[in-house]
């Protein structure tokens, strides 16, 4: 598995996008956040980077008309659609639920702890997904040319 160019490409696409995400966060917020390196959401989408890197690497290795490439593209499309659709809506819903929990707590009707709050930063914008996809494609193109 550690010699599989497609797996290596996927891991490096994830790593590069997560490093980029952490650097962007650090520049904007003037502080380091390990959550931005390990966590989901943000610019660029590491989910998109990984699935497009895999699809591109599969296409280059197995052929653009192969069944494996077709499956990779379909799965990449599902993941990217989910990242910008379902996961973004989940973040919006978490924000509303967390606000309600704070309201209930202020009314003396709840016992809110930081552990019980829902994670709000889980989805992506279309731009974040697009940039992640570009990262993935470029990573695959470069690595497939460089790796033996």
Q: Model's pTM, two decimal places?
A: 0.76
Cα 126 to Cα 43: distance, rounded to the nearest angstrom:
10
Alpha-carbon dihedral sign for residues 97, 102, 108, 114 = positive
d(CA 144, CA 44): 21
Distance, CA of 69 to CA of 67 (rounded, Å): 5
Residue 83 pLDDT: 83
Q: Which of 119, 140, 114, 103 is nearest to 38 (CA)?
A: 119
Tens place of pLDDT per residue across the chain (148 aa): 678 999 999 999 999 999 998 888 888 888 887 777 777 777 889 999 999 999 999 999 999 999 999 999 999 999 998 888 766 677 777 777 777 777 767 776 656 565 566 666 666 788 889 999 999 999 999 998 898 7
User: pLDDT tens digits, residue range 52-64?
Assistant: 999 999 999 999 9
Structure tokens at 4: 């599989």
Please report the pLDDT score of residue 85 as a whole number.
73
């Amino acid at each position: 598995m550690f010699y599989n160019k497609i797996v290596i490409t996927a891991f490096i696409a994830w790593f590069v996008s997560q490093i980029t995400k952490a650097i962007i966060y650090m520049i904007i917020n003037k502080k380091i956040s390990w959550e931005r390196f390990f966590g989901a959401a943000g610019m660029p989408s590491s989910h998109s980077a990984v699935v497009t890197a895999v699809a591109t690497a599969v296409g280059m290795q197995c052929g653009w008309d192969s069944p494996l490439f077709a499956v990779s593209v379909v799965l990449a499309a599902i993941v990217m659609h989910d990242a910008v659709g379902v996961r973004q809506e989940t973040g919006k819903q978490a924000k509303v639920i967390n606000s309600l929990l704070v309201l209930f707590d202020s009314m003396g009707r709840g016992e809110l702890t930081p552990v019980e709050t829902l994670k709000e930063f889980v989805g992506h914008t279309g731009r974040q997904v697009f940039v992640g996809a570009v990262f993935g494609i470029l990573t695959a193109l470069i690595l497939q040319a460089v790796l033996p």
